[in-house]
Amino acid sequence: SRETVIDGDFNDKDTLNQAMDGVDAVYLNEMRDLDSVKNIVAAMDANHVRQFIGATVLGIEDEVKGAFGQWNTSMIESSITKRIKTAKVIKDSDLTYTLLRLAWLYNKDGNTNYELTDSDQPFGGTQVTRQAVAQLIVNILQDESRKYARKSLGVNEPNTNWDKPSFY
């Protein structure tokens, strides 16, 4: 009863504004398209929605070092390039944002373990469960201390500092 599914397009500004009416926060799982991200920020501003949580990829801050960093770049270089631009739009906004630079995702029921790294720290590990990311998003939405506000956070599973994810 708290959620409403809206079928639309991020470039349809009328539908986007309708979707923003009365919401507390926006979670964006896809930050590849620059125009879409700009439209979302504009709709959030127009509708006085302040909190934004965005899932993006590791590597947008040149924070992934060593063998894993080389492997990651070889796998998703074009995605990193696109998401650097969309992350800049968010960072340049006046939104209360949290960008999640996600390690490689996999599923494992019951595994909600994650650790966070700040922008100025090397990325921590190679993988994280979707379940852990969902838990983190809930934690961010419930947090009243603002400790996640206006941050870009690396998100990985503890003890996964390998040359590539275990499933590759």
Comparing 120 with 87, the larger pLDDT belongs to: 87
**pLDDT of residue 5 exceeding 90:** no
CB-count exposure of residue 165 (10 Å: 0-12, 13-18, 19+): buried
Asked whether residue 163 is domain-assigned, the answer is no
Q: What's 14's DSSP letter?
A: H
The per-residue pLDDT for 1 is 76
* Residue 5 lies inside a defined structural domain of this protein: no
Structurally, the chain folds into a number of domains equal to 1
- Domain assignment present for residue 168? The answer is no
In a domain, 22, yes or no: yes
Q: What is the pLDDT of residue 157?
A: 98
Contact 110, 134 (CB under 8 A): no
Q: Has residue 164 been placed in a domain? A: no
Domain enclosing residue 17, as ranges: 13-156
> How far is residue 164's CA from residue 133's CA, in Å, rounded to a whole number?
19
pLDDT surpasses 80 at 9 = yes
Helix, strand, coil percentages (3-state) for the chain, rounded to 5, are: 35, 20, 45
- The percentage of the chain sitting over the pLDDT mark of 70, rounded to a whole number, equals 100
Work out the average pLDDT over 2-18: 87
- Model confidence at 3, pLDDT cuts 50, 70, 90, reads confident
Domain containing residue 42: CATH number: 3.40.50.720
